[in-house]
Amino acid sequence: DERKIIAKAHDKYKKARAGIINTRHGQIHTPAFMPVGTKGTVKAMLPESVQTTGADIILGNTYHLMLQPGAKRVFKLGGLHKFMNWSKPLLTDSGGFQVMSLSKLRKITEEGVIFNSHIDGSKFMLSPESSTEIQYLLGSTITMAFDECTPYPSTYEQAKSSMELTSRWAKRSRKAFYSRDGYGQFGIIQGSIYNDLRLKSALDLIELDFEGYAIGGLAVGEGQELMFKVLDYAPDLLPINKPRYLMGVGKPADIIGAVQRGIDMFDCVIPTRSGRNGQAFTKYGVVNIRNSKYKEDNTPLEEDCLCPACKNYTKAYLHYLVKVKEILGAMLMTWHNLMYFQKLMLRIREYIAQGKDFDFIS
């Protein structure tokens, strides 16, 4: 009957939650989407423009910033907030994932990862201690533990030894963390797609009492189905009263599915990178603005969107800018996509607060 069906719907959403994380640099409304600002800038955006999209927090990368301009230099210049003129919360990834995906020639030892810079080949070492110190020098609001991001696919044995290394590194990261009011450090659980390894990883990290927990090792090519299979149980292994962060995710449908499974925080390069490549997220679906059907389309991407691209320009103009590779094209497309992702998060937060279903695929 009516009552049972509603109960069914709510049952599907019972893990979704909305909340506020209070930090030294301001509040984070969750579920939250973090625009990626890898090298101390959200590409093609002024920080004040990022702020107008509704973002409460952005992400930076230890790996890139330690190579250029260097963490000590950023510290001497007043820290990353001052350097990039962003006064709200900053989360920095710890570098392990980026070393494996970007650097040339690297060696993983118990101590840490030795690698050559992808810029000039010079030699560096990242360890739980050095990564944690770099993030302190940058002035991160939320510091990520130094983990080993287990590649996908991995055998059970590979995933087990990788997860155990991540647990030992998490302990050293936690010991190296200089805890201050309003700042926090998140542990990152690994274990690939093996539920017993995910459980062991969670138990090891819960002992270290982090301020929040990330689920690592997903969005690494496993596909949405397998990712959701892990997310059907992994968030529940983590403390219910602490933030849960799904690293590197994702498309709107991925975000919606992950929120329904109890995830609070997201980061992804999709809105910025695809914006620069001419893809606009709209309620009508993804618009590839380079398509010739837009060259005389005098309508905005979305008539009710408040971003500058939609308020002041047409698809024809955006089509032209992107085709001729004008910088303004990257700026307007990025701005629109970031606005779209923040509007999605706002609607999700509102629906959760009202106890309503939010299965809309934006």
Ligand X SMILES: CNc1nc2cc3c(cc2[nH]1)N=C(N)NC3
Which residues carry out catalysis? 93, 267
Q: Residue count at the site for ligand X (CB under 6 A)?
A: 14
CB 232 within 8 A of CB 201: no
Between the CA of residue 166 and those of 19, 197, 212, 275, 286, what are the distances in Å? 29, 12, 16, 34, 37
For the bound state, the minimum distance from the C-beta of residue 96 to ligand X, rounded and expressed in Å, comes to: 5
For the bound state, the minimum distance from the C-beta of residue 136 to ligand X, rounded and expressed in Å, comes to: 17
Q: Is 65 in the site for ligand X (CB under 6 A)?
A: no
Question: Which residues from 77-96 bind ligand X, rule CB under 6 A?
Answer: 93-94, 96
CB 60 within 8 A of CB 38: yes
The gap from C-alpha 201 to its chain's centroid, in whole angstroms, comes to 20
Binding mask 131-170 for ligand X (x = CB under 6 A): -------------x--x-x---------------------
Question: Which residues from 294-353 bind Zn ion, rule CB under 5 A?
Answer: 305, 307, 309-310, 336
CB closer to ligand X out of 49 and 135: 135
CB closer to Zn ion out of 56 and 302: 302
CB 331 within 8 A of CB 321: no
What does the longest C-alpha to C-alpha distance in the chain come to?
A: 68
Q: Is 197 in the site for ligand X (CB under 6 A)?
A: no
Residue 280's φ and ψ, nearest 5 degrees, are -115, 130
Q: Which residues of 76-94 are buried (b: 16+ CB within 10 A; e: fewer)?
A: eeebbbebbebebbbbbbb
Q: Is 202 in the site for ligand X (CB under 6 A)?
A: no
Q: Is 254 in the site for ligand X (CB under 6 A)?
A: no
For the bound state, the minimum distance from the C-beta of residue 235 to ligand X, rounded and expressed in Å, comes to: 15
Residue 186's φ and ψ, nearest 5 degrees, are -105, 135
Q: Is 219 in the site for ligand X (CB under 6 A)?
A: yes
Residues that bind Zn ion (CB under 5 A): 305, 307, 309-310, 336
